Amino acid sequence: MPDDDLLRSMLRDEWHLVPGDLTRLQGGLLSRAWEFEASGHTHLARLSDGPVRPSVEAGLAAAAHLLDHGIAAGTPVRTLGGALTVTLGSGALAVLRRVPGRSLAGADPVDQQWWGDRLGAVHRVLQHFQHPGLRPWNLLDAGAGHLDAQPWLREAVTAAVTAMTRLSVTDRLTYGVLHGDPAPEDFVVDLDTGRAGILDCGVSGTGPLVYDVAAAVVYAGGLMAAGELLDGYLSAGPVRQDELEAALPVLLRFRWAVQADRYARLLSGPCSERAGHELRRAREALDALPG
């Protein structure tokens, strides 16, 4: 994770932005984000992990597409050289002008309705969106070496991948552009206008839309806690209830396997204590899922 001085330097040199306080935002599995004031506007800086620059730029283009179709979304800010992102460490750093409003609370039933509704609307508007940076949905490699970090890990990831493959072959799933990591903190509501929106479109790829719903359900605290979220999504999204009911259990297992895979990669790094805690949490969740 970059320190504040490095991030300030990048914002100044690449975007000519001089931030005030940098506030680290909560949430997010595949990226880290900071909020700051500069040049009279509130901005969001997001650092996505890994060599994913084309996918990040696809997400920024998707945000612009949402804006063109009446959905409030963060406005991408280009660098002084005209680029959408710059490389920072092994990741891609992007800056957006923030959507007005407060971030949603995942446990709040009313906020869940906003959250599900906006996720569904984003899926619907992006159904025919195209960009060369959109990568096919492929998040797990059951043969990866880091899965030896825990005795149970490879078996759990293999089972999730197998179930996902079987579902893809036997069921007709609705595919489209994924957010990939739709945490409630990525969605906002402006209480002055009643308008809800999304901060950005994450590291965009294409895949079964129920994966995004499953990721949101995990953030909401599980199926028993996500009723309003699912109702909001079904009212606005392109996925029908019968598909959601059939696919969601498999995609929930897959999402937890993605989280386990992610934290297994971090076990040997400076965040090893948190990674170990999150791995235990993922194992408990996987053990509790039916099937």
Burial class (CB in 10 A: 0-12, 13-18, 19+), 90: exposed
Average pLDDT taken over every residue of the chain: 91
Instruction: Provide the pLDDT confidence category of residue 222 given band limits of 50, 70 and 90.
Output: very high
Q: Whole-angstrom Cα distance, residue 99 to residue 93?
A: 18
Of the candidates 49, 51, 48, 42, the residue with the CA atom closest to the CA atom of residue 22:
42
Q: What is the pLDDT of residues 27-72, one digit of tens each?
A: 666 678 899 999 899 999 988 876 678 888 898 999 999 999 999 9
Q: What is the pLDDT of residues 143-173, one digit of tens each?
A: 999 999 899 999 999 999 999 999 999 888 9
More confident residue, 204 or 187: 187
Token representation of residue 176: 């489209």
List of residues 6+ apart from 240 with CB closer than 8 A: 174, 234
